[in-house]
Amino acid sequence: MISVAVLVAFVLGFAARRIGLPPLVGYLVGGFALHAIGEDGGPYLTYLGDLGVYLLLFTIGLKLQPKGLLAPEIWGVASLHMGIVVALFGALFWGLAGLGVSAFAALELETALLLAFALSFSSTVFAVKVLEENGQSGSFFGRTAIGILIIQDIFAVLFITISAGKLPNAWALLLLGFPIYRRAILWVMSRAGHAELFVLLGVLLAIASADVFAWMGLKADLAPLVVGVVVGRHPKASELARTLMGFKDLFLMLFFLTIGLNGFPDWEGLGIALLLVAAMPLKAALFFLLLTRFHARARTSSFAALSLANYSEFGLIVGAVGAKSGWFGPEWLVIVAIALSITFVVAAPLNAQAREIYERFRDLLLRFETPRRLAEEQEIDPGDATIIVVGMGRVGTPAYDTLKALHGDRIVGLDYNGAVVEAQRAAGRNVIEGDPSDPEFLLRVADLQQLELILLATGRHRCNVASVKALRRYNEHSRIAATAVWPEEDAALREAGADLIFSIYGDAGSDFARHAHQELCA
């Protein structure tokens, strides 16, 4: 069965990619196709899909900055959005029950509010997957969206704990010794090397922590996130996240298949699911409005809102609790699953085209901005810098150091990831936070015209292309050099306006040979 599932996922994922959609759309459709031919997935497929979720949450934790959750635009927006959605959807469902619509007829006010609560969540798995595919998980709006999702997850954990009518069992007291366990984990990480033992350690931490939390009577999904956070300051944390990426993507493919395997409702249920899908723009609009009221820029608010617009797999978990307790019928689980799946299919291309959508409605969206700006979005002063290195990673950092040795303090680094910016500043480099593919960011730079040379070293092709286009729109005279990983990326970068393209693999080999010949054979 798993071989058939993987074959279907590959074929439909490949087809989705060929028509410009993210592969996960193909995986979801694959799940529906497998259900149509009578396949149910089986326990192994479900378990492997759960493993993908655990790995995803673990890698989120490795990159997460817990103090960011205390920002008002995180917990305030998450709390207000959930409260408003529960009130509006609950009133709608109860009103439909009062009108005698059969599917809602058995709902009391409490159960209507519970269903609304299940639908107030946004999908952590989907949002993080899309943000990572687009290279935006470390951006300010990406961190904002992930923070809101984590607050929502905390609400889910509280609900499940309260609805179960029991507290964590006595074994949960073992968590008091977590500082000791953390030191042991960090000691092992430092000595696990960089090959298969390192990979195995990451998988073990994700799986074992989930099993331990479940054994203690706590929510299993929360464990990998918590463990990822507590070991995220280790010097090898970023390497571990990169190492697990391929495994995470493989198992998440199976998770999206299982979403489609939930089945189909009857015609009335399908109509209700489509009604819920039609409410998806309202969820996104409410996120946008709340974020702008908390002084986020229109671009930040719109990008975050698009990534949070759909329904969540946590809604299925909350719904399952309600169905098991007899608060409403099991048919609602199928309805929520169908609505969830359709919103995944709809949201995937919308997020892929987020930049284009924002540019189209930019003038309208800017009207919702407040005069006050968040600290992360204030005007940027590059000082006397005439050279900027974009992307302070494995390529950008040595490029920065080399150019600083040649040109002194006339150089500045730029990265979209706040944690990277902090680390680079701690190392003594002049680095600012921002995204050059964002037109509003470019307009925030005090004197963009003073830049003579711009190096794009992000390693993310789509971001590099978008950055070149945006830079050329506001700055025609600067020379732009960009990195490319694959040969087919050169044409798009040149068409966008790059003056020089450096092939990370091909050109690096040539430079290595020239350097070795110069130093050793001259």
Residue 431 Cα to chain centre, angstroms: 24
Higher pLDDT, 457 or 437: 457
Cβ neighbours for 393, distance < 8 A, ≥ 6 positions apart: 415, 420, 457, 458, 459
User: CA 301, CA 338: separation in Å to the nearest integer?
Assistant: 27
Cβ neighbours for 126, distance < 8 A, ≥ 6 positions apart: 24, 310, 312, 344, 347, 348
pLDDT band at 288 (very low <50, low <70, confident <90, very high): very high
**pLDDT value at position 439?**
56
Higher pLDDT, 85 or 176: 85
CA distances from 191 to 7, 183, 188 (A): 38, 13, 5
Higher pLDDT, 418 or 364: 364
Bridge partners of residue 480, in order along the sequence:
454
Q: How many CA atoms within 13 Å lie on the side-chain side of 398?
A: 3
pLDDT band at 57 (very low <50, low <70, confident <90, very high): confident
Structure tokens at 314: 């946590």
CA distances from 159 to 145, 317, 372, 500, 508 (A): 21, 10, 36, 55, 53
**Where are the alpha helices (H) located in 295-330, listed in sequence order?**
298-307, 313-324
User: CA 251, CA 254: separation in Å to the nearest integer?
Assistant: 5
What number is the average pLDDT over the span 2-17?
83
Per-residue pLDDT at 244 exceeds 90:
no
Per-residue pLDDT at 438 exceeds 70:
no
CA distances from 50 to 47, 210, 253, 327, 353 (A): 5, 10, 11, 26, 29
Tokens 């697990």: give the residue. Answer: 244
**pLDDT value at position 157?**
65
Which is it for strands 387-390 and 453-456: parallel, antiparallel or unpaired? parallel
What number is the average pLDDT over the span 244-256?
79
Tokens 């259900």: give the residue. Answer: 35
Closest C-alpha among 113, 77, 75, 76 to residue 93 = 113
pLDDT band at 522 (very low <50, low <70, confident <90, very high): low
Per-residue pLDDT at 145 exceeds 80:
yes
pLDDT band at 273 (very low <50, low <70, confident <90, very high): confident
Structure tokens at 292: 């702008």
State the amino acid at position 5 in one-letter form: A
Higher pLDDT, 187 or 59: 187
Q: Is 263 in contact with 98 (CB distance < 8 Å)?
A: no
Higher pLDDT, 390 or 78: 78
**pLDDT value at position 320?**
63
pTM score, whole prediction: 0.67
**pLDDT value at position 264?**
66
Per-residue pLDDT at 440 exceeds 80:
no
**pLDDT value at position 165?**
56
pLDDT band at 67 (very low <50, low <70, confident <90, very high): confident
Average pLDDT value over all residues in the chain:
80
Report percent pLDDT > 90 for the chain. Answer: 8
Write the pLDDT tens digit of every residue in 390-416: 888 888 898 899 888 888 888 888 887
Higher pLDDT, 371 or 69: 371
* Domains annotated on the chain, with CATH: 2-170+246-366 (1.20.1530.20), 379-520 (3.40.50.720)
Per-residue pLDDT at 514 exceeds 80:
no
What number is the average pLDDT over the span 228-257?
81
Q: Is 113 in contact with 271 (CB distance < 8 Å)?
A: no
What number is the average pLDDT over the span 223-238?
82
**pLDDT value at position 517?**
60
Cβ neighbours for 434, distance < 8 A, ≥ 6 positions apart: 380, 414, 416, 441, 444, 445
Per-residue pLDDT at 329 exceeds 70:
no
Cβ neighbours for 146, distance < 8 A, ≥ 6 positions apart: 60, 64, 124, 127, 128, 131, 137
Write the pLDDT tens digit of every residue in 161-199: 566 555 677 777 777 777 888 888 889 888 888 888 888
What number is the average pLDDT over the span 46-56?
80
Write the pLDDT tens digit of every residue in 26-45: 887 888 788 877 776 677 77
Tokens 């571990």: give the residue. Answer: 240
Most confident of 76-80, 94-98, 496-500: 76-80
Per-residue pLDDT at 454 exceeds 70:
yes
Per-residue pLDDT at 360 exceeds 80:
yes
**pLDDT value at position 477?**
78
Per-residue pLDDT at 364 exceeds 90:
yes
